[in-house]
Amino acid sequence: MSEQTKYTEDNIRSLDWKEHIRLRPGMYIGKLGDGSSPDDGIYILVKEVIDNCIDEFVMGAGKTIDISIKEGEVSVRDYGRGIPLGKLVDVVSKMNTGGKYDSLAFKKSVGLNGVGTKAVNALSSSFRVESNREQQSKSATFEYGNLLEETEAQSSSKRKGTKVVFRPDSKIFKNYKFRLEYIERMLKNYVYLNPGLTIDLNGVKFFSENGLKDLLEDQTNESDLTYPIIHLKGNDIEVALTHSKTQYSEEYHSFVNGQNTTQGGTHQAAFREGLVKTIREHFGKNYEASDIRKSIISAISIKVMEPVFESQTKTKLGSTEMGDGLPSVRSYIVDFLSTQLDNFLHKNTAVAEAIQRKIMQAEKERKELSGIRKLARERAKKANLHNKKLRDCRVHLPDLKKDRRLESTLFITEGDSASGSITKSRDVNTQAVFSLRGKPLNSYGMSKKIVYENEEFNLLQAALNIEDNMEDLRYNNIVIATDADVDGMHIRLLLITFFLQFFPELIKEGHLYILQTPLFRVRDKKQTFYCYSEQERNQAVNTLKGKPEITRFKGLGEISPDEFKFFIGEDIRLDPVMLDKSTTIENLLEFYMGKNTQDRQKFIIDNLKVELDLVEQVG
């Protein structure tokens, strides 16, 4: 037997708690990332610390949380009961240790049952925890999960509570950068779900009086609502819903015990079922479920005993039971809607009539588009088969296993040379390429009919698999990859217009990005630097001795496949496209894609870079 095939006691190794977390971080925090996506690991670290503070608030201890995020370091301070001093080190460094196992103390907890802060500790280059309780204070400092210092308990006049300060390990989270927009969205969800709680982030306060009603008001503009937001509350359940005038597909915000379940689960499925059942029974008509739910914008929050999630990061609820002697999750939610929503509609006949008109309009549009959709599907199937516009990948978003967050990505590019380079460089398992033929149509002001009649839009919609709803989306990241010139900028604007016009939830849910590619290559015989700005180019020139070779990339097609693999691999740089409620989608599109104006022409010419003002305003 060769050395390689021997299997003895020497092959068996036990890892301590921090080694296991650092070796397999994805098991604890999902994907890593650099902060460009809202579910990147650095935000999960922040969330795990805040979750413990929320549990204190839920238990009636501490109404304020102070958070500071500056230069890559995070500080979180609550004013709850404080961690028992004798267990301070154990709570943040010993697995299976924590207060969450005591179901009486934390009946419907948010936290990770003794895992969360340990993952933060192990994955941080520096971590400090301080507890203040009963006029005493104690702290402990760690590096990479290793205890450096533990102070003795001493008298203190500080307010009771816990403070955690940490810096994510840059060796694990490469080139990470906190985007405060994502943090703010997280904090808003916390206060919506916990009315009366105040969270202070870098001096900006977040507070909510009306729970999920405030959430929907923040997500929408009043002018786009078919009727005022319906807000219903019961024991362990809260619901808010309305219908959009302009949005085509369904939008759901779901929560369990304060956790934002971005992938839904049993409670969201029950809500969708209960809504259809209630509407059908209220109007006495067997409306199509898709017509009832079309354009809906809604939020649901429930609290259950010891919830079971389908992954460590708790993005999808798997529980079927509410606990506390209550019926199943499905029955509880369906019965709540059948009673409370039906009562509301009987008392508010104007809202009921608006909902019925919206359903009938959706039914009419569906019937008008049925023939076109059938023809478009056949055309898309034929085009994908013969034209090869889509170079697909092997793994798609719906295929991801429960505890595995592979990043499925679709690059949308223009031109044979650029799409060819990306296709040859990509990871065929998780990265797909969609090749545009010339500039897309300006879809501003057009109806959904154009999506099926225009070949490019029809094929793109088919590639994404979003004809009916976002639940079937095939790629987690949709990346616009165009040249950084006037034509490339125009294509970006046209594609963003398409998504804003027909599928804004793709942007709202953080799926749309702009690919950053280097502007310069600076190299000598030993080293090569790829530079994304003139500042980086100058730094590279100063680093290399002599006179290095400097190449200015004019377009994606000029970058060889061998080089391209560095820009779409582990060190990929993406700029997220995000919506800002300060301006409506309608007004935004009118400015950028309406009738030509000198202001807009000047704007596009003056912003020939990825960080264009448009991305800052829709992002």
CATH number of the domain residue 481 falls in: 3.40.50.670
**Inter-axis angle of helices 180-193 and 41-58, nearest 10:** 20
**Is residue 382 pLDDT above 70, yes or no?**
no
Assigned token pair, 309: 């999630």
Residue 580, pLDDT score: 63
Average pLDDT on 396-411 reads 64
Neighbouring C-beta atoms of residue 579, cutoff 10 Å: 20
- Say what percent of the chain tops pLDDT 90: 34
Verify that 428 and 348 share a domain, yes or no: no
Concatenated DSSP letters of 120-175: HHHTEEEEEEEEEETTEEEEEEEETTEEEEEPPPEE--SPSEEEEEEEE-TTTSTT
Within-domain flag for 574: yes
Query: Distance between CA atoms of 288 and 310, rounded to whole angstroms?
Result: 30
Residues 244 and 195 in one domain: no
> Domain check: are 178 and 310 in the same one?
no
Is residue 496, in this structure, part of any structural domain at all? yes
Out of 154-168, 516-530, 551-565, give the one with best mean pLDDT: 154-168
Kindly state whether residues 338 and 452 are assigned to the same domain.
Answer: no
Structure tokens at 296: 């809906």
Q: Tell me what pLDDT residue 596 has.
A: 53
In a domain, 3, yes or no: no
User: What is d(CA 443, CA 457) in angstroms, rounded to the nearest whole number?
Assistant: 9
Distance separating alpha carbons of residues 211 and 197, to the nearest angstrom: 11
Query: Which pLDDT value is given to residue 619?
Result: 34
22 and 151 within one domain: yes
- Judge whether residue 617 has pLDDT over 60: no
Are the C-beta atoms of residues 197 and 209 closer than 8 Å to each other? no
In a domain, 315, yes or no: yes
Which two tokens mark 526? 């030993």
Label residue 96 by pLDDT band (50, 70, 90). low
Residue 564 has pLDDT above 80, yes or no: yes
What amino acid occupies position 231?
A: H
Q: How many CA atoms lie within 13 A of 42 on its CB side?
A: 28
Give yes or no: residues 221 and 197 share one domain. Answer: no
Q: What range does the domain containing 85 cover?
A: 17-206
Q: Are residues 562 and 535 in the same domain?
A: no
The β-bridge relationship of strands 146-150 and 136-143 is antiparallel
- Written as six digits, the tokens of 252 are 């759901």
User: Would the pLDDT of 565 be above 50?
Assistant: yes
In terms of pLDDT, which residue wins out, 65 or 222? Answer: 65
List the CATH number of the domain containing 272: 3.30.230.10
pLDDT digits (tens, 9 = 90+) for 73-89: 999 999 999 999 988 88
DSSP output for 288-309: -HHHHHTTEEEEEEE--SS--B
* Cα angle 85, 91, 94; round to 5: 130
Identify whether residues 465 and 595 lie together within a single domain. Answer: yes
Of 206, 238, 259, the domain-final residue: 206
Given this model, what pLDDT does residue 241 score?
Answer: 95
Evaluate whether residue 72 is within a structural domain.
yes
The span from the CA of 422 to the CA of 511, in Å, is 19
Number of structural domains (the chain) is 4
In a domain, 576, yes or no: yes
CB-based contacts of 12, cutoff 8 Å, min separation 6: none
Q: What is the pLDDT of residue 187?
A: 95
Q: Say yes or no: 535 and 524 in one domain.
A: yes
Q: What is the CATH number of the domain that holds 103?
A: 3.30.565.10
Model confidence at 70: pLDDT above 50: yes
Residue type, 567: F
What CA–CA distance (Å, rounded) separates 195 from 501?
A: 34
Least confident of 1-5, 114-118, 119-123, 350-354: 1-5
Provide the token pair at 250.
């369904």
Tell me: do 199 and 123 sit in the same domain. Answer: yes
Last residue of a domain, one of 206, 232, 263: 206
Residues 122 and 220 both lie in one domain: no
Whole-angstrom distance, CA of residue 312 vs CA of residue 323: 21
> Is the model's pLDDT at 608 over the cut of 50?
no
- Rg of the Cα trace of the chain? 26
Tokens 């809607």 locate to 337
Considering only 7-11, 228-232, 515-519, 589-593, which range has the smallest mean pLDDT? 7-11
Nearest-5° Cα angle at 323, 322 to 329: 15
Give the mean model confidence (pLDDT) for residues 50-71. Answer: 91
Is 5 part of any domain? no
Q: Does the pLDDT of residue 494 top 60, yes or no?
A: yes
The candidate with the shortest Cα–Cα distance to 213, out of 183, 193, 190, is 193
Q: Residue holding tokens 């604890």? A: 28
Predicted local confidence at residue 109, as pLDDT: 59
Identify whether the C-beta of residue 218 lies closer than 8 Å to the C-beta of residue 234: no
3-state helix, strand, coil in the chain (%, to 5): 40, 20, 40
Q: Is residue 30 part of a domain?
A: yes
pLDDT band at 27 (very low <50, low <70, confident <90, very high): confident
Burial 349-363 (b: 16+ CB within 10 A, else e): eebbebbbebbebbb
How confident is the model over 111-158, as pLDDT tens digits?
Answer: 444 468 899 999 999 999 999 998 999 999 999 999 999 999 899 889
| Residue finishing a domain among 145, 178, 206 | 206
Does 523 lie in the same domain as 510? no
How high is the pLDDT of residue 209? 93
Work out the percent of the chain whose per-residue pLDDT is above 70. 83
CA diameter of the chain: 82
Per-residue pLDDT reduced to its tens digit, 155-196: 988 999 999 999 999 999 988 999 998 999 999 999 999 999
